[in-house]
């Protein structure tokens, strides 16, 4: 009997990020929110400190601020989503390929992750000619992963690369969260979303090739979906767009339920928390990051990148953790890192990376 051939771990060949051109500082967002919601929401001033406490300085939006001051229906919002998403993904993909020294014609498969708009044909199909991809390129569009989509999308792309040694796999992630803010929603959740959300895109190139010795390696991936937690995070489909759903209990859930699940994931792959060299965490918000710092202690190297990305871009859902990854790689972080995020389900997503 022939011995099975050991497949090398998929490697990251390049990472690139992109944001739309409309930078908006947090004070301007707060003032705009006051103008939109204040006259109709008696509790707005009680909620307003969330803008100051979010640790966000700037975020980037798909449209100029004035666009958000008028009511927009679902068709108009989704048209804006398609236009901006394609532009950002094209830019991120081409930048990523240039950094990796590869050409679009070399891409064998594309995994595209997004949960803030609808595209049929999917975004990857709409990008094929713009990017110059081969007609036989394998496409895997993924919807509904929410904030976990950056980590789980990278896991799916790594699985494709591992299943097809030598194939070049492109991961594309785009989230345009500002388009989901709804003027007619006077809930506290919508106000918090207005204080947090930004727009962005990222691209990651992977390959599983025994001759390729450069680039971070994807060692393992995992996820855990807790029973009876579907109401913790997600979208509601409304007449004027996607209505945000997230629970204020998320930090408590992380503190109470993550340690056991994370410990089991690490143990399955022969690792312990104390052996990690750093972390690459999705910065969902200040309370989530504070909870993660407690759970992951004493490991702390890399958290500053999460705080910095939150400050500079806000919460861009699935994309955000890839901005953190890009900074961690540029910072020459080394050793075994835990990449993590949380999404609808309620689901914890994990990756082990050797940088």
Residues annotated as part of the active site: 147
Dihedral (Cα; 134, 14, 143, 229), 10-degree rounding? 160
Distance between CA 20 and CA 78 in Å, rounded? 16
User: How far apart, in whole angstroms, are the C-alpha atoms of residue 99 and residue 319?
Assistant: 19
User: Which of 339, 15, 59 has its CA nearest to residue 176?
Assistant: 59
Q: Which strand (E) or helix (H) includes residue 16?
A: strand 11-18
Asked if 130 and 86 touch (Cβ cutoff 8 Å), the reply is: yes
Please name the residue that has the structure tokens 């918000």.
285
Q: Report how far Cα 151 is from the mean position of its chain's Cα atoms.
A: 7
What separation in angstroms does the CA of 120 have from each of 117, 143, 278, 289? 10, 12, 39, 35
| Tokens of residue 333, six digits | 């972080």
Q: Quick check: helix, strand or coil at residue 245?
A: strand
Beta bridge partners of 353: 218, 337
- Where does residue 135 rank: exposed (0-12), middle (13-18), buried (19+ CB within 10 A)? exposed
Cα–Cα distance, 187 to 184 (Å, whole number): 9
Q: Which of 259, 334, 274, 338 is nearest to 306 (CA)?
A: 338
Token output for 168:
């070049």
């Amino acid at each position: 009997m022939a011995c099975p051939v050991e497949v090398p771990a998929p490697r990251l060949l390049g990472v690139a990020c992109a944001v739309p051109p409309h930078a908006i500082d947090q004070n301007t967002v707060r003032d705009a929110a006051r103008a939109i919601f204040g006259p109709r929401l008696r509790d707005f001033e009680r909620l307003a400190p969330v803008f100051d406490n979010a640790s966000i300085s700037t975020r980037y939006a798909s449209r100029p601020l004035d666009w958000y001051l008028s009511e927009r229906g679902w068709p108009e919002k989704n048209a804006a989503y398609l236009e901006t998403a394609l532009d950002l993904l094209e830019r991120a993909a081409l930048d990523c390929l240039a950094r990796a020294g590869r050409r679009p014609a070399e891409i064998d498969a594309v995994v595209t992750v997004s949960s803030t708009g609808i595209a049929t044909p999917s975004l990857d199909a709409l990008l094929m000619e713009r990017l110059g991809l081969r007609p036989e390129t394998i496409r895997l569009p993924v919807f509904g992963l929410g904030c976990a989509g950056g980590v789980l999308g990278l896991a799916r792309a790594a699985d494709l690369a591992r299943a097809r040694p030598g194939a070049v796999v492109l991961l594309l992630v785009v989230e345009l969260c500002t388009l989901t803010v709804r003027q007619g929603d006077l809930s506290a959740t919508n106000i918090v979303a207005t204080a947090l959300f930004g727009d962005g895109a990222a691209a990651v190139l992977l390959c599983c090739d025994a001759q390729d010795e450069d680039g971070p390696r994807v060692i393992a991936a995992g996820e855990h979906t807790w029973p009876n937690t579907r109401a913790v995070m997600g979208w509601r489909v409304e007449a004027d767009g996607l209505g945000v759903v997230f629970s204020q209990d998320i930090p408590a859930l992380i503190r109470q339920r993550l340690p056991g699940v994370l410990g089991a994931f690490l143990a399955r792959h022969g690792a312990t928390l104390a052996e990690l060299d750093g972390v690459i965490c999705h910065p969902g918000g200040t309370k989530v990051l504070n909870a993660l710092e407690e759970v992951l202690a004493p490991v702390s190297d890399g958290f500053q990148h999460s705080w910095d990305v939150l400050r500079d871009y806000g919460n861009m859902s699935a994309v955000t953790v890839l901005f953190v990854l890009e900074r961690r790689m540029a910072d020459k972080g080394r050793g075994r890192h835990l990449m993590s995020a949380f999404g609808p389900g309620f689901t914890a997503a994990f990756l082990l990376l050797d940088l």
